[in-house]
Amino acid sequence: MISHIQWSWDYVLLFTCSIITFAIYCPKFSSKARLPPGPRGLPLLGYLPFLDPNLHHGYTKLAQRYGPIFKLKLGSKTHIVVGSSDLAKVVLREQDEIFANRDPPIAGTVITYGGQDIVWSDNNNSLWRNMRKVLAFEVLSNKNLEASSTFRRGGVRKTIKHVYETMGTEVDIGGIAFMTSLNVITNMVWGKSLVEDVKSTNLGLEFREVITKIVELLGAVNVSDFFPVLSRFDLQGVGQEMKRQSKILDAIFERIIKERIAIKRDEAGLNNIVEESHLSNLRYLDAVVKETFRLHPPLPLLIVRCPSESCNVAGYTVPKGANVYVNVWAIHRDPQYWENPLEFNPNRFLSVDDGTTKFDYNGYNPNFIPFGSGRRRCPGVPLGEKMLVFFLASMLHSFDWTLPNGEHELSDKFGIVLKKNTPLLAIASQRLPDKNL
């Protein structure tokens, strides 16, 4: 397991000598270029030793000092951080094509066979365009989402049955949500979920474990990402560990393929409870979900953008190849856009119209962009929105829930995906008179 780096002077001295030659070749920007302001760092290392482990918190504090756009030198790379909805609109929409490329970390390159996937592939290559087209029109089109509603219905009902069988004991909410979503997606892809027999149940748990480790590696601080010349040495073993996880993931898919060849499809009927047709009427639940995403965006800095050419943002030059982050966490808590921003208040999403103040997940309102905006917005949002609200509505309708200790700690831990420090465990009790409902 790769742990977070605790920067110390001993560690700094250890690799400073290894990169001093490389410093000679660091890119020099024209003196005429007006780069955004930002904190000074150390020679060679830049601001690396001073980074807050919770980057979204640290970047928010720096924005309070340097403004809504600032520059950091991290190793040999220039990082630009945008922290206002006005500038996010410029980066994500007005200059979307320029900022649509990626600069994948070593871990991302390894797990995607050289960036050959829809997240890390460059915008202007045919592979990404074809993958996006297939996903948008063949998998996640409105027609296909409607056609696959039976899979979501069946997956949620199986979870309800499982919770009934474990009432009175602690339930890992994140765990059952993950498994429900995984089973729905696998049903959509190959017509059968991972929990239709004992072997597949274990397989699902293995799958969750490897995905968790992959996400941790993607968010780990890796020296090779800041000093690409050192990547061949893999000083922290991030690349090697990701290769190991990649082999485990491949082995899981091989087992799945063999099972799907050997086992015929078996569908089970389930009784009616919450239906997807009810979801449009659950406006308050929808508001609760949006308020949660406002305060705890899944991707607090979105996925890094990498401009294909030098450009101008707010009067500053953003150099070609810089790493550009949008601090969604800060935008969602900015009192300029939100009244009492630290207060959990779902009602703020109930009093909006369908015009410019509309809040949805399409990224058109720059004050609310939990999944990004523009051509690199998360393509799975249509399915994810349906699945999440359907799952929550069904769990709340079928059970009463209590916390084991009467309260729950809500702090989070930074990563490429924001994660709760303490998993949500709750105890279910029967709410409906008939368990079959």
pLDDT at residue 386 tops 50: yes
In this prediction the pTM is 0.76
pLDDT of residue 7: 42
pLDDT (mean) for 400-413: 86
pLDDT digits (tens, 9 = 90+) for 356-370: 457 899 999 999 999
Q: In CATH, what number is assigned to the domain containing residue 200?
A: 1.10.630.10
pLDDT at residue 198 tops 60: no
Which residue type is seen at 191? G
DSSP 108-125: HHHHTTTT-STTTS-TTS
Q: Is residue 165 classed exposed, middle or buried when 0-12, 13-18 and 19+ CB atoms within 10 A define those classes?
A: exposed
Q: Where is pLDDT greater, at 273 or 418?
A: 418
pLDDT of residue 202: 72
pLDDT of residue 244: 96
Q: Is residue 3 part of a domain?
A: no
* For the ranges 47-61, 266-280, 342-356, the one whose mean pLDDT is highest: 47-61
Lowest-confidence region among 14-23, 86-95, 203-212, 369-378: 14-23
pLDDT at residue 242 tops 60: yes
Q: Is residue 437 part of a domain?
A: no
pLDDT at residue 289 tops 90: yes
Q: Is residue 70 part of a domain?
A: yes
**What angle, rounded to 10 degrees, do the helices at 381-398 and 173-190 form?**
130
pLDDT at residue 12 tops 60: no
Q: Is residue 247 part of a domain?
A: yes
Q: Is residue 435 part of a domain?
A: no
Q: Is residue 13 part of a domain?
A: yes
Q: Which residue from 205, 216, 231, 206 is spatially nearest to 19, judged by alpha carbons?
A: 231
State how many domains the chain has: 1
Q: Is residue 4 part of a domain?
A: no
What distance in Å separates the CA atoms of residue 339 and residue 146, rounded to the nearest whole number?
Answer: 37
- Residue 122 phi, psi (nearest 5): -65, 150
pLDDT of residue 356: 42
Q: Is residue 436 part of a domain?
A: no
Note down the domain range covering 67. Answer: 9-430
